[in-house]
């Protein structure tokens, strides 16, 4: 009927483990979000660089074609 002292201690331990696991999951989720954001920024920067390179070579090709 009544919980014994050891059963109460077991319950506290189980709750503590669950709290730690939940905190770890939150931290992992936040880190994954930050990493994803950093990767997206890198991809956008790479896309801008490629766009500039393509534009440069399109201008060179156009100038070469027009100078004929």
What are the tens digits of pLDDT across the range 4-49?
A: 666 676 778 888 999 999 999 999 999 999 999 999 999 999 999 9
> Residue 52 half-sphere exposure, CB side, CA atoms within 13 Å?
6
Distance CA 56, CA 50 (A): 10
Q: Average of pLDDT values for 44-55?
A: 92
Residue 49: both structure tokens together: 């660089």
Which pLDDT value is given to residue 43?
95
Residue 54: both structure tokens together: 């393509």
Which pLDDT value is given to residue 5?
66
């Amino acid at each position: 009927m009544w919980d014994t002292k050891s059963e109460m201690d077991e319950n506290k331990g189980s709750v503590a483990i669950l709290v730690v696991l939940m905190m770890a999951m939150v931290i992992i989720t936040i880190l994954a979000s930050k990493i994803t954001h950093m990767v997206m920024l890198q991809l956008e920067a790479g896309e801008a660089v490629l766009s500039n390179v393509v534009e440069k070579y399109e201008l060179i090709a156009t100038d070469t074609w027009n100078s004929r």
